[in-house]
Chain A
């Protein structure tokens, strides 16, 4: 299908056919990583600005590599050391960047809705690289790509997302994406970290880890931010890890072909035991590799194919 969107702001707004389109395009991009010369001319003469208002290594690097492999000029702009620190507003910074005529702005922002705000004010394409607790669409798309590669299909699979769903944009994007692709989603975690009205998103909610992961084809463990103790969400990291951490003992009750995923960075020994993170079920590094392919696909669809 022909890509029509100017921006990629959320998975919630995507049609299943659009998701499939991104995944198919990403599949065709994965081959480039194995080439001797990792470069195709698809976005030659295009400018991609990475506008990161929140610290990020992996996502920013992933977008940067994706842009460069497609021959775009990639400029990184981080809020620290920039005009944002001098008190310039987000919108003013955006207007200044727009005046330099980029083709795509990739934005990471701590405020939910930051990318949508940009998209409303900028003529160029905007890609949401994670906004607050709202969405992280390219992460969900790379997760779907990873599952599809490993399982051969998405429809009918059982996925369990474990941990701090309340603060997780990754969980929100995945819930929307997985539901749209016909997967059954269960979220599990202490009630304080499960968002209000979560069932209305079409997911099952479980407060017992063993029960939640028993029939899962995919288990996605979420990162627990250490400061969650301070908000009274959990009493201690120690207790959280005992009740909600995934170690080898719990893994024995799971399906033998289960996939273990994590959006990274992993708190080893908190939500995920090192033996599990590095074990045979783990596809965590495949997720990272697929991240580049998915971001190439997204940049291509927004800046390459749409203009053509």
Chain B
């Protein structure tokens, strides 16, 4: 529960700290930050010379698949993947089997996390019962049980009246409603972004408007109700513009972007790899540029993985029949360090903020800070650490990544949760 992390470059976006310092963690809390600190008796010392010491990273969007699809992932394997990827906390989406739409399922998830979880687990409860979009889930009890947000992620709540009621009903609990913005009629049979690549491949496309009409609708509903709306996995230039305008107008809307939408375009689909299939689909070059701008200027407050494990047989066949989604917990931080920070598309303090203060702030979670008294959750980075994506070495039970075989430099090298080293 106690560690002295010595002589690292401490990067704490919350306090604006960016200096070589020592960090003392005592009894699961941050005790002190300073120079020349000495370890009390029996406290292990970690030498972080040449490394970057950050508040523990928080993934506000992952699918841990338990209960119900343990062949894809379990809370134990998913949180090991998180720890290996530099995350100290993971929010897990409600589309388990059974759906996390009542307190019994939330209790079960938290019990499994206590029993076998390596990092902190924060469940997200459903907006509607069984994600069916017909009746509200028991949102008050979900909040009492420990859910940190509401989402039918994977499905869009198409009934605007019901979604308005959900936003209103959620107000007293102070938890955001997370929107999977996708108009099912516009999406139709589309399995990738609509454009030249889809036309050439003969795959049905989904236009950017599939997402944007729902982002626009949900922003108007948030404006109507005063609720906190969070847009999951934002993927288009138009959505970024809508969120930016709404925020300027004072609407309580936040957004997250995934590493795959920040790094890949629909050109990646040309290899027919089902691991390039996800919802929303990989978009065009201009969309990727807009996401990067939004991430830099704060329109997008968080990077989220949308870690979506699937078994190999669900991701090796015909593209149009493959399951949606990719794993991300173990590749997100290395990829972002090498592909966004190293070439100068994003500065390191901003990336760290989008992984810490961003998600912690918008979900009102403890953590994301190295202020005295904060949870002793720490991620240590080595910006020169070489890496290569080898799916067979994943801690996750699943291997479905579009980044297999890529390499680069810069990776998390140690993950500390509550003052305890959980990785490596």
Asked if B414 is at the interface (CB within 8 A of a chain A CB), the reply is no
Tell me the minimal C-beta distance from A176 to chain B in angstroms: 9
> Contacts of A231 on B, CB cut-off 8 Å?
188
Asked if A19 is at the interface (CB within 8 A of a chain B CB), the reply is no
Please choose the segment from B106-114, B244-252, B312-320, B387-395 that sits at the chain A interface, where 4 or more of its residues have CB less than 8 A away: B312-320
Q: How large is the interface on B (under 10, 10 to 19, 20 to 34, 35 or more residues)?
A: 20 to 34
Contact status A117-B318, CB under 8 Å: yes
Q: How large is the interface on A (under 10, 10 to 19, 20 to 34, 35 or more residues)?
A: 20 to 34
Known contacts A112-B319, A113-B272, A197 near B199 by CB under 8 Å: yes
> Contacts of A134 on B, CB cut-off 8 Å?
201-203
Known contacts A89-B313, A116-B272, A111 near B318 by CB under 8 Å: yes
A-B pair count, CB < 8 Å, reads 63
Asked if B59 is at the interface (CB within 8 A of a chain A CB), the reply is no
Asked if A169 is at the interface (CB within 8 A of a chain B CB), the reply is yes
Tell me the minimal C-beta distance from A222 to chain B in angstroms: 14
Complex Cα distance A12/B200, Å? 9
Central interface residue in A111, A113, A201, by most chain B CB within 10 Å: A113
Asked if A195 is at the interface (CB within 8 A of a chain B CB), the reply is yes
Asked if A198 is at the interface (CB within 8 A of a chain B CB), the reply is yes
> Contacts of A196 on B, CB cut-off 8 Å?
194-196, 198-199, 205, 207
Chain A residues 254 to 281 lying within 8 A of chain B, measured CB to CB, are none
Asked if A109 is at the interface (CB within 8 A of a chain B CB), the reply is yes
Name A132's contact: one of B195, B317, B320 (CB within 8 Å): B320
Chain A residues 275 to 298 lying within 8 A of chain B, measured CB to CB, are none
Name B200's contact: one of A117, A132, A172 (CB within 8 Å): A172
Q: Mark B310-354, 1 if CB is under 8 A from A, else 0.
A: 000100111111000000000000000000000000000000000
Tell me the minimal C-beta distance from B46 to chain A in angstroms: 45
Known contacts A91-B316, A112-B320, A117-B272, A172 near B202 by CB under 8 Å: yes
B-to-A contact residues, CB < 8 Å: 188, 194-196, 198-205, 207, 272, 313, 316-321
Extra A-B contacts (5), CB below 8 Å, given A90-B317, A113-B319, A134-B203: A89-B317, A91-B317, A196-B199, A197-B196, A201-B199
Closest 10 CB pairs of A and B: A133-B202, A134-B202, A111-B318, A195-B199, A197-B196, A113-B272, A112-B202, A200-B196, A113-B319, A116-B272
Would you mind naming 7 contact pairs between A and B with Cβ atoms under 8 Å apart?
A: A90-B317, A91-B316, A113-B319, A134-B203, A196-B194, A196-B199, A201-B199
